[in-house]
Amino acid sequence: MHMTETARRMWKKLTWTWSPGSEKEAGDAVVKNMLLHWFPNKVSISSMSWSYSMWLGTVSFVLFLILCGTGLVLMFLYVPSVERAYSSVKDIEFVVSFGWLLRSMHRISAHLMVASVFLHMVRVFLTGAYKNGTAAGANRPLNWIVGLTLLVLTLLLSFTGYLLPWDQLAYWAITVGTNIARSAPVVGEWMRFVLLGGTTIDQGTLIRFYVLHVFFLPVIVLFLFAYHMWRVRKDGGLAVVDKEDLNRTAVPADPVKSKTYSLLGITNGTSVHVQTKVVEDESTTVTSSPHLLRRILLVSLLTFAVVVLLSVVFPAPLEAPANPSVTPNPAKAPWYFLWLQEIVTVTTVTIGSFTINGALIGGILLPGALLALAVWWPYRDKSGPGSVGVWLSPERKRQNMVFIVICVVILLFTVVGTFLRGPYWNLYWPWESWPDMPVKF
Amino acid sequence: MKLFNLTKTTEAGEKNDEGRRGFLQKLGLGALLTSLAGVAYQSFRSLIPNVLYEPDQRFKLGLPANLPEGITFLDDRRLYVFKEGKSFYAISGACTHLGCTVKYAKLAQPRTVEVNGTQATIGFEFHCPCHGSKFTSDGTNYAGPAPRPLHWYRLELSPDDGQLIADLGQEVDQGFRLTV
């Protein structure tokens, strides 16, 4: 009892400069507390709904934190050299206490993060949440683009991590991936040279991918994530709040100057105004602490539990050491790139005597076009304010259909590539056994 | 009058001063940006290797007589070397689609294909495990996404010790044969 009291006091001393004596002071306290300052003072109940956002953004960030935590420990154990990388991963797997769990959690979290960031994007699209609502100075389309960038960075992070174990799986996935870069016109060969640090996948490549994976890309993600969250706040919160706002205008009510902040106590008077109709409404809002905090902690706990469970059930594989002279049959890219591998298989086009490598169409032009389409989409979406923050709004029916079809095609290709492709990229049913293939001829 | 002139001089001086200040500001900012660009270029350029510690593109394969008749695969070079009596040729094992190593596939039944306008019976092919491209025995792509035939590389004899030399830097036509 005494100990916990001491700990409580220590904690208070570390995180508070002052503690509240009244409700009003408690509200002010939110601004003054380092942790609570992350959240708005109050939050609308609807934006905490499970069914609206499914908390996929939070899940993604929790996964990112797990990846940082497990990754940090793995950095102490892994040696990024061609001679020792494989054996250090093997040691992590079989010698280091709980090494297998760390590696498995890192891998599962990475896979789940690709999935959750993708699903987060699907959710934002289908709820029309990239559209501006009533908040002044909102720029949700920009935040959608930031989100797309984060999706690409997530894929790159996963891809760079793929090479590090230096096993057959790693080596050939990176071979296929970097040869796609080579098929870009004019600069392709040069791009691959810079990416690999030479003409073959070797020490230069390993250290490049390592530094990108453990420092460069995560730092960019952190900065962009901070901006992403800041924009959510400045754009008026989740889009569902705008929807609520719209419904409310049926009952005429003037916007109130709900709050006046002085600029962090530096300026005199009331320089920053927050005008909103929702914040003060007791029936639609709750205080962020503890309600929002509690839910975030719950989502974090659930995410963590799922990661640990899956890590135990699906241990991370480690194939034979990388061998440049033997291509495994079939050789597959990471699952989230298998839809692209399916496409590069079928997109080599011959016009007369002129042949275009499928890698250029399927590996660069098509994904580039899809990304450009996604960036451009919010700016051409002219649906009304009634379709902001609503699942499958009837007004956006056609564009939702197009989006869903694209997603389903991508998922279908992914499933075919993952489960139905066997030796020489032939189709096999999952219950069919693959013919025996000689490792060499 | 004198006072007026003085004021005017001062104003002009101030104007000059501002012009000077503006110029120096731009100069400073320009210098800063230029040096930043320089550092950025330097950093990036340092990442482009000037020396590659990779194996030589030209290498010796041993004496022609020691090479077994038929087909030999050189693991570390991903090169198929063929010996047909006195003639030799070499075909790259790297798929022209995305660079996987193509595999030698013996056909259960030899088939007849048209190669350069002439009919030829072939007993084997090259198959790529990554995306299922197929090549006939001379490296011509006939199925799958591979956009080009497999590369053929020059073989020559070393003048000093008579060993076979393969040169991965020199591509040759499909008809190439080194006769010893």
Write phi, then psi, for A398 (nearest 5 degrees): -65, -45
Mutual orientation of helices A203-211 and A188-196 as an angle, nearest 10°? 80
Would you call A291 exposed, middle or buried from its count of C-beta atoms within 10 A (0-12, 13-18, 19+)?
A: middle
* Euclidean distance between CA atoms A131 and A381, whole angstroms: 8
- Residue A257 φ then ψ, to 5°: -75, 95
All residues of chain B having their beta carbon less than 8 Å from the beta carbon of residue A331 are 100, 129-130
B-chain residues near A182 (CB < 8 A): 99
Q: Establish if A367 belongs to a structural domain.
A: yes
In DSSP terms, which residues pair with A351 in a beta bridge? A354
> Which chain B residue has its CA at the smallest distance from A341's CA?
B131
A163/A169 Cα distance (integer angstroms): 8
* Number of structural domains chain A divides into: 1
Q: Is residue A260 part of a domain?
A: no
Is the per-residue pLDDT at A203 higher than 50? yes
The CATH number of whichever domain residue A331 belongs to comes to: 1.20.810.10
Q: Answer whether B129 sits within 8 Å of A423, measured CB to CB.
A: yes
Who has greater pLDDT, A31 or A188?
Answer: A188
Residue B165 near residue B156, CB atoms below 8 Å: yes
Whether residue A266 lies inside any domain: the answer is: no
CA A149, A150, A153, A159 dihedral sign is negative
Rg (CA), chain B: 33
- Contacts of A180 by beta carbon, 8 Å cutoff, 6+ apart: A340, A344, A359, A363, A364, B98
Chain A residues lying within 8 Å of B137, measured CB to CB:
none
Q: Is A254's pLDDT higher than 60?
A: no
Interface contacts A/B by beta carbons within 8 Å: 104
Does residue A52 belong to any structural domain of this protein? Answer: yes
Per-residue pLDDT tens for A153-165? 999 999 999 999 9
**Which of A28-32, A329-333, B101-105 has the weakest average pLDDT?**
A28-32
pLDDT digits (tens, 9 = 90+) for A295-312: 999 999 999 999 999 999
d(CA A214, CA B177): 50
- CA proximity to A133, closest of A239, A276, A44: A239
Residue in the block written with tokens 């640990």 = A308
Which residues, at least 6 apart from A60, have a Cβ–Cβ distance to it below 8 Å?
A113, A116, A117, A120, A154
Distance CA A242, CA A402 (A): 25
Section A249-278 average pLDDT? 51
How far is it between the farthest Cα atoms of chain B?
114
Q: What is the CATH number of domain B58-179?
A: 2.102.10.10
Chain A interface test: which of B76, B130, B148 (most A C-beta within 10 Å) = B130
Which domain covers residue A45, as residue numbers? 40-252+289-425
* Within a domain: A12: no
| pLDDT given for residue A221 in this prediction | 98
pLDDT at A1 > cutoff 60: no
CB of B131 within 8 Å of a chain A CB? The answer is yes
Distance CA A392, CA A359 (A): 35
CA–CA separation, A107 vs A92, rounded Å? 13
pLDDT confidence of residue A270:
45
Averaged pLDDT for residues A343-353: 75
The structural domains of chain B, with segments of one domain joined by +, span: 1-53, 58-179
**Selection from B109, B129, B123, B117 nearest residue B174 by Cα:** B117
Residue B154 dihedral angles phi and psi, to the nearest 5°: -70, 135
The answer to whether the Cβ–Cβ distance between A356 and B145 falls below 8 Å is no
DSSP 8-state code for residue A110: H
Using the predicted structure, report yes or no on whether residue B149 has a pLDDT greater than 80.
Answer: yes
Give the Cα separation of A221 and A21 in Å (integer): 39
The vertex-B89 CA angle with B86 and B91, nearest 5°, equals 155
Confidence of residue A272 (pLDDT cuts 50, 70, 90): very low
Q: Are strands B134-135 and A272-276 parallel, antiparallel or unpaired?
A: unpaired
